[in-house]
Structure 1
Amino acid sequence: MATAGKVIKCKAAIIWEVGQMPSVEEVEVAPPRSHEIRVKIVATGICRTDDHVLKGIFPNIEYPVIVGHEGAGIVESIGPGVTSVKPGDKVIPLCIPQCGECGCCLSPKANCCLKSHLCEPLQNLMPDKTSRFTCKGKQIHHFLWTSTFSEYTVMPEVSIVRIDNDAPLDKVCLFACGFSTGYGAAVNCAKVDPGSTCAIFGLGGVGLSVVMGCKVAGASRIIGIDINKDKFTKAKELGATECIAPQDFKKPMNEVLVEMTGLGVDYAFEVIGRTDIVVTALKSCHLGHGTCVLVGAPPAGSQLSIDPTLLLTGKKLIGCLLGGWKLKDALPQLVSDYMKKKFNTDALISHTLPFEKIAEGFELLHTGKSIRCVLLF
């Protein structure tokens, strides 16, 4: 492309400091270096994790920063040594990379690449500890090597995957995080059994994706739990058999669920990011074999305190990172399945806005009015 090798000026949303809403600015995006790729982002979702950065509850973030990690776009140019994509390819950035060489990538039991920000000392620059973004003469930090709240962004090759060139980018951007995380939590991490009973705490975009996964896995009873009853209609549309709101009961939700099911649910999913709800979800599980899956991301510094006797009878508490997928391997197939109409992720998109209205998108998230808001460049 004509812009290859040149600095590109474009619009991006910068969080200048904690608590400040993203500000749309003109930024300069440097060309990709060795084993890096510059991508023109077409669409990006607003995820709760992005909001964690805004509120200062994501660990070790330096500001100013361009966040965003649920995007899809087109390769603009590639740096030396890049072999997996070429200019013009449709791609999805990966907020958890897949290097293909570390112990986790080589193991069938793990998907947390050791080159990810969660394993290396967390820093929000490129792997060489420099930034490709500047604004008003100031260095701007990256986020998870994706920074999809920028019309152009640069990422390492380990953090990108090519997808079907017919895929609608304004729809499949959700596969970068929200849908893949929730759906995979059910089918990969929990391995929900046919005929089982499931409870999902939190019916946002990720929680509804858990509902979809439980339905595909053949669960016979899928109980959605949320304080926002406006979400119940969509949850039932996607597979929930019943929905309940905690404020309608005078007893803890774990007691309610045990009464509803006998000895507790077979699978409980915490999709809010609150440690007290993790404990409630674990208590909701079947006495002898229930599995509680931690899907939501609690604020940095949170501590989980549980009575260990909860686990002695056979209950399990497990973690779930991006649905357990090795993303470079899994995303092309998930997108292909979407193209074949094996699941309806379009139902998760409640709002579509031009990128300039990103502040409105965050407000929809804060007020609970959106499931997923997608921003278009």
Structure 2
Amino acid sequence: MSTAGKVIKCKAAVVWEPKKPFSIVEIEVAPPKAHEVRIKILASGICRSDDHVLSGALIVNFPIILGHEAMGVVESVGEGVTSVKPGDKVIPLFLPQCEKCSFCIHPKGNLCEKADFGIPTGLMYDGTSRFTYKGQPIYKFVSTGTFTEYTVVHEDAVAKIDAAAPPEKVCLIGCGFSTGYGAAVNSAKVEPGSTCAVFGLGGVGLSTVMGCKAAGASRIIGVDINKDKFPKAKQLGATECVNPLDFKKPINEVLFDMTDGKGVDYSFEVIGRTDTMMAAMTSCNINYGTSVIVGVPPSASEITFSPGLIFSGRNWKGSLFGGWKSKDSVPRLVSDFMQKKFVLDPLITHTMPFDKINEGFELLRSGKSIRTVLVF
């Protein structure tokens, strides 16, 4: 029996307030309105950004359905939807691409004006939610909300992909892989023969390592306080790894020593901490070095620094979703994966049923996983 046009009851992982575990409950998912798409989620990765909401570091509206790195199949579409149809395999986009705003039109921009960042609403464009629990509206995280069997997104926030792509792998293209890989090849534009340092060797950091290698960097230094991540980093392209806890001097000075006093050409902060952002920036060459902030910073964080640190020519910039224009780029990235231009398997350490979501987050916090993928 078709579910199109009807309310769907399904399981979802709801967070009622910060610092509390997920509750698996039955919610109601309303049909898509005009220019909206209802998706049956097949797989969703666990990302550090989701955990920032749980810890209270990111300010959002509660109760909320988190999750933003997923793959699914279109269940139904609202009036006026032309880019996808029921049965299509898709990746929801936490960074929409409306293709109309000034950012989307600009060749260098990828932060669509429709993105639910800054002061997030957790709602659809019309200011309402398609999720309810016993009549109570439930918010969703960054335009997607994928820790649920069904979600509804705007057509701007969905990309049709190769139907043969494996859900439990290509879901990573919805965030982690694309964010890290793109930070190197798009945002930094790493050059052949250059020296790079990657701070944080989680799923996004390792993807950054992969991007640096693909761009031809001759030296890629992984930086992390968890030595267990070093073998995987070297497998994916790191030429050496260092643990800041092994040194008495600051890690930026260590990196200058390792590069004969020059500093690295490119550094990447892939953790989301202001102290490591400063360390990454001050580890790159004072004249032509580029440091890229990739990790999501806490909502209330601030940085104070001397202008002299960048006056000499350093370039300090941010990278959101790896600089990719999402709707255009995600299908191409999936195609590249299917053509074996890059691998995703080494990033995925755990695959588990959706109802084990709390265990998946414990693996993330304990440093025992790179990426845990939930399957539905």
- Scaled to the shorter chain, the TM-score interval is over 0.9
C-alpha contact 2:120 2:142 (8 A) present in aligned 1: no
Q: Deviations over 1:54-86 (max 9, x none)?
A: 112213x11111010000000000000100000
**Matched letter for residue 178 of structure 1:** G
Matching residue within 201, 204, 208 for 2:202 = 204
How far is the alpha carbon of 1:96 from its aligned partner? 0.6
What is the distance in 2 between the residues matched to 1:210 and 1:291?
14
Match of 1:284, SS?
A: coil
What is the distance in 1 between the residues matched to 2:242 and 2:117?
34
How far is the alpha carbon of 1:118 from its aligned partner? 2.3
Matching of residue 168 in structure 1 with residue 170 in structure 2 = no
What is the RMSD computed on CA atoms of the aligned residues? Answer: 0.9
Residue in 1 that maps onto 2:35:
35
Match of 2:267, SS?
A: strand
Single out whichever of 91-100 and 275-284 deviates more from structure 2. Answer: 275-284
Match of 2:229, SS?
A: helix
Instruction: Kindly report which structure 2 residues correspond to 1:183-222, keeping only aligned pairs within 5 A, or say none.
Output: 183-222=181-220
Q: Deviations over 1:8-39 (max 9, x none)?
A: 11111000111111111111111000110000
Residue in 1 that maps onto 2:45:
45
Instruction: Kindly report which structure 2 residues correspond to 1:10-29, keeping only aligned pairs within 5 A, or say none.
Output: 10-29=10-29
What is the distance in 2 between the residues matched to 1:295 and 1:320?
5
Match of 2:65, SS?
A: coil
What is the distance in 1 between the residues matched to 2:143 and 2:79?
18
Matching of residue 147 in structure 1 with residue 145 in structure 2 = yes
Instruction: Kindly report which structure 2 residues correspond to 1:161-310, keeping only aligned pairs within 5 A, or say none.
Output: 161-262=159-260, 263-310=262-309
What is the distance in 1 between the residues matched to 2:239 and 2:120?
41
What is the distance in 2 between the residues matched to 1:141 and 1:129?
11
Single out whichever of 292-301 and 129-138 deviates more from structure 2. Answer: 129-138
Residue in 2 that maps onto 1:91:
90
What is the distance in 2 between the residues matched to 1:312 and 1:5?
58
Q: Deviations over 1:93-114 (max 9, x none)?
A: 0001000000000001110001
How far is the alpha carbon of 1:357 from its aligned partner? 0.2
Matching of residue 8 in structure 1 with residue 8 in structure 2 = yes
Q: Deviations over 1:212-240 (max 9, x none)?
A: 00000000000000000000010000000
Q: Among the aligned pairs, what percent are the same residue?
A: 63
Q: Deviations over 1:278-304 (max 9, x none)?
A: 111111001210000000011001101
How far is the alpha carbon of 1:137 from its aligned partner? 2.7
Instruction: Kindly report which structure 2 residues correspond to 1:355-374, keeping only aligned pairs within 5 A, or say none.
Output: 355-374=354-373
Single out whichever of 75-84 and 302-311 deviates more from structure 2. Answer: 302-311
- Structure 2: unaligned runs, 5 residues or longer: none
- Structure 1: unaligned runs, 5 residues or longer: none
How far is the alpha carbon of 1:125 from its aligned partner? 1.1
Match of 1:278, SS?
A: helix
Runs of 4+ more than 2 Å apart: none
C-alpha contact 2:117 2:142 (8 A) present in aligned 1: no
With normalisation by structure 1, the TM-score equals 0.98
How far is the alpha carbon of 1:45 from its aligned partner? 0.3
What is the distance in 2 between the residues matched to 1:75 and 1:136?
25
**Matched letter for residue 333 of structure 1:** R
**Matched letter for residue 97 of structure 1:** P
Residue in 2 that maps onto 1:82:
81
C-alpha contact 2:196 2:212 (8 A) present in aligned 1: yes
What is the distance in 2 between the residues matched to 1:313 and 1:137?
58
How far is the alpha carbon of 1:115 from its aligned partner? 1.1
Match of 2:279, SS?
A: helix
What is the distance in 2 between the residues matched to 1:155 and 1:287?
44
Match of 2:282, SS?
A: helix
**Matched letter for residue 82 of structure 2:** T
**Matched letter for residue 195 of structure 1:** G
Matching of residue 126 in structure 1 with residue 110 in structure 2 = no
What is the distance in 1 between the residues matched to 2:307 and 2:156?
39
How far is the alpha carbon of 1:52 from its aligned partner? 1.1
Q: Deviations over 1:149-188 (max 9, x none)?
A: 0000001000000001111111000000000000000000
With normalisation by structure 2, the TM-score equals 0.98
What is the distance in 1 between the residues matched to 2:309 and 2:96?
35
